[in-house]
Chain A
Amino acid sequence: MEFEEIINSKNGDEIDLKDLKFNPTAILPLLCECKNKNFKVDNNVNAFEYLENILMEDILFSGLPKSRNESDEADFLSRYVEKLDSEYGSYFVLRHIISELANNVYDHSNIGNVEVDSFILSKFHHNHKKLDVTVIDDGLSIPGLFEKSNVDFENDYQAIEKAIGTFSTVSTTAYERGNGLRTIVRLVAEGNDGEILIVSRNGCVHITGEKYWYYLLGEEHKFNGTLVSIRLNKYEVQNIYELLEPQKVNNYKINGVIHDY
């Protein structure tokens, strides 16, 4: 992965960004690493600040607010979505995706009052009529949350399967159930024929339209936190509320083939 190539090729605390392609899925974990480990680029410049300045120019990038003032946080999410093009999925779909991912970050990643960093980045590919949106946090991770909630699972990719299926740690009753990831996957993959990548600790799933692949990440590729990356096509999702309804069957059940990475 591009992020790993950059990190693995660093020299002391200095990283080389000349081949960086600004793919949101690579940029956000890189930002987290730069912030946490105080990496440098040319002439001892702080790598995190360097990337932040570049990203602000033409890619919608921001850290998610840590104010814990929910009105401020809601205002931030509204302003962020207004900068996106609602022809990608629709305003409601974009708002739903970003709101539910933010809910997950705030609810699940800050357990135990541990400081968690979280970021959102969006990039337009105008020529190909696609929009990438990536949200990342360096918090508990999906498997970590399941362990804290005493939920059984055998491997980290199975934890992701549960999270996007019909399961939640919030409650077992239909109306109380947390359904963020499940509904996002359906809106993107089924409603927009888009793509979604979810990476959390040693588990990963890549869904594109009706196809999906689960991965088990080796220890050297382990991701401490959760990354959700979405690619939307330039058309509006129809039948939104049908896609939000709970289902009895998980359309993304592990089918026996797990890829190693």
Chain B
Amino acid sequence: MIIKLKDEINSALDFNQSATELFDKINNLSDEEFILDFEDVVFISMSFAQAYYASKKRSPKKVTEINLSDDVNPMMEMIEKQLMF
């Protein structure tokens, strides 16, 4: 299943609650694999990114990200790297 984050949430992903609620929805759907499309997402806050990876780590679903722009990819990479410690 593909979820476009711009349509699901907003083109700016500010709030940690948005990430938590996103994964609550994902975890309650019957699909096992999800592609999260970040096309046209122009900003990701640190709070959102942290909550996103925390929720992703706890989720039983397989989740991958696509279309992360140069504006938002550095934040996601930084937080994902911190996840490894």
Contacts and interface: CB of A to CB of B under 8 A. Distances in A.
A171 B78 CA distance: 18
B82 A99 contact: no
Contacts of B17: 70, 106-107
Interface stretch (A31-39, A43-51, A74-82, A218-226): A74-82
Contacts of B74: 241
B82 A246 contact: yes
Contact of A175 (B12, B14, B45, B53): B53
Interface in A51-110: 70-71, 73-75, 77-78, 92, 95-96, 99-100, 102-103, 106-107
Given A96-B46, A171-B54, A177-B50, A103 B78 contact: no
Interface size class of A (residues with CB under 8 A): 20 to 34
B15 A70 contact: yes
A177 B16 CA distance: 11
A151 interface: no
Q: Is the interface of B mostly helix, strand, loop or mixed?
A: helix
A20 interface: no
Interface in A101-142: 102-103, 106-107
Contacts of B13: 74
A174 interface: yes
Nearest to A180: B47
Given A175-B50, A178-B50, A95 B15 contact: no
A245 B82 CA distance: 9
Given A70-B17, A241-B78, A245-B78, A178 B47 contact: yes
Interface of A: 70-71, 73-75, 77-78, 92, 95-96, 99-100, 102-103, 106-107, 171, 173-180, 183, 241, 244-246
11 contacts: A70-B17, A73-B15, A78-B11, A92-B43, A96-B45, A100-B46, A100-B47, A102-B15, A174-B85, A177-B50, A245-B82
